[in-house]
Amino acid sequence: MIIIDAFIKQFSKTFPNEGNLQPWEITENISKTLYQTITGLDNNYEIKGGIAVHNTATIEKGAILKAPAIICENCFIGAHAYLRGGVYIGSSTKVGPSCEIKSSILLQNISVAHFNFIGDSIIGNNVNFEAGALIANHYNEREIKTIFVLIDSITNNTGVEKFGSLVGDDSKIGANSVLSPGTILKPNTIVKRLELIEQNKNY
pLDDT digits (tens, 9 = 90+) for 169-186: 999 999 999 999 999 999
Q: Is residue 12 part of a domain?
A: yes
Q: Is residue 202 part of a domain?
A: no
- The Cα–Cα gap between 147 and 162 comes to 7
Q: Is residue 102 part of a domain?
A: yes
Closest CA to 114 of 42, 60, 182, 158: 60
SS (H, E, C) 140-162: CCCCCCCCEEEECCEEEECCCCC
pLDDT digits (tens, 9 = 90+) for 7-37: 999 999 999 999 899 999 999 999 999 999 9
Closest CA to 202 of 180, 184, 177: 180
Please give the DSSP secondary-structure letter assigned to residue 14.
H
Q: Is residue 101 part of a domain?
A: yes
CATH of the domain at 18: 2.160.10.10
State the catalytic residues.
114
Q: Is residue 31 part of a domain?
A: yes
Q: Is residue 60 part of a domain?
A: yes
Closest CA to 132 of 175, 188, 75: 175
- Maximum alpha-carbon separation in the chain: 50
- The Cα–Cα gap between 159 and 71 comes to 30
pLDDT digits (tens, 9 = 90+) for 100-124: 999 999 999 999 999 999 999 999 9
Q: Is residue 203 part of a domain?
A: no
Q: What is the pLDDT of residue 152?
A: 87
Q: Is residue 177 part of a domain?
A: yes
Print the domain residue range for 109. 4-197
pLDDT digits (tens, 9 = 90+) for 34-87: 999 999 999 999 999 999 999 999 999 999 999 999 999 999 999 999 999 999
- The Cα–Cα gap between 76 and 91 comes to 9
Model confidence at 147, pLDDT cuts 50, 70, 90, reads very high
| Count: domains in the chain | 1
CB atoms under 10 Å from CB of 77, counted, come to: 29
- The Cα–Cα gap between 57 and 175 comes to 26
Q: What is the pLDDT of residue 203?
A: 57
